[in-house]
Amino acid sequence: MTTLTYREAIRVALSTALDADPRVLLMGEDVGRYGGAYAVSKGLLERFGPERIRDTPLAESGFLGAGIGAALGGLRPIVEIMTVNFSLLALDQVVNNAATLRHMSGGQLSVPLVVRMATGGGRQLAAQHSHSLEGWYAHVPGIKVLAPATVQDAHDLLLAALADPDPVFLFEHQLLYPTEGELDEARGPARIGEALVRREGHDVSLITYGGSLGKALAAASELAAAGISAEVIDLRTLRPLDTDTVCASVTRTHRAVIIDEGWKTGSFSAEVAALLAERAFYELDAPIARVCSAEVPIPYAKHLEEAALPRVPAIVSATLELFGRG
């Protein structure tokens, strides 16, 4: 076991993949000489050279399209997009090409593409760099959507994505890059489509993913002090969603709070709530609660940004209301 930061764990996985398979390459804005916008790829250009660590123009549709073409041609490209907001410039390539080619070709074509991007707010980067749009991608069949929340998952889910024959999108919350945790490199790839119980409990299920996991765990600790035992579920994969683990948790606890940094309207939290209404309705002893970002573009000012994003007090308050203690 080694203690690393989240960004270092991704770098280890990238290095492992580049060493093991000559078809793997990394491409994106500033991934080479600059070392990545979040320093994830620092040192990889010197180690693997410009053919495999490729700086691209500021043209998301162009270089994501190039990644799709490279995947069709037999390579295993990893495309890094600086932030999820910028990925919208390439949404046509995602929805109309990467996600559809296997199906439209009757299985003759495969697109083994991995796309990584930063998501979420909390760093005062304002509205064009701070949104959480992974729920939009989870709407699209033909791609897989992962949201690693821990150092171990940052490493293991990237390796799992590289082993998948179809497009996989990884959403890395900006606030997680400097966080530290233990990494066991010998564990190998994670299982895509498997949620984990990060904390066991019997009174309420706190269901979340990515950058909100730490907040859910902190809220669970505060709730324990108030006599409420909260179980924390880390979804890890938004598509395919591990419905069995989610429903099993709510069957145990009979209450659910969903924490999602996306906006509440049309959010991924709404999908999880609908799932519970369809499959676990008679297990619920209280309405499903959701804690999401305010329905505004994420502000730049620190106090306004903090007010707009899900916070531990909001999670605690929403949970207490389910017990008539709000």
Q: Is the dihedral of CA 209, 215, 218, 224 positive or negative?
A: negative
Helix (H) or strand (E) holding 118: strand 114-119
Q: Are 256 and 318 in contact (CB under 8 A)?
A: no
Question: Which tokens sit at 311?
Answer: 């916070």
CB 45 within 8 A of CB 53: yes
Per the document, the length of the chain is 326
One-letter amino acid of 110:
S
In three-state secondary structure terms, 257 is strand
DSSP bridge pairs for 171: 117
Is the Cβ–Cβ distance between 81 and 87 less than 8 Å? yes
3-state secondary structure of 74: coil
Q: Which residues are catalytic?
A: 60, 129
User: Is the peptide bond prior to 167 cis by the omega test (within 30 degrees of 0)?
Assistant: no
Report how far Cα 273 is from the mean position of its chain's Cα atoms. Answer: 19
Tokens of 177: 């890059």
Closest to 320 in 3D by CA, of 253, 228, 233: 228
Per-residue DSSP letter, 50: T
Tokens representing 181? 């945790």
The span from the CA of 313 to the CA of 57, in Å, is 42
Of 122, 116, 113, the closest CA to residue 142 belongs to 113
How far apart, in whole angstroms, are the C-alpha atoms of residue 253 and residue 248?
Answer: 9
DSSP H or E stretch at residue 199: strand 196-199
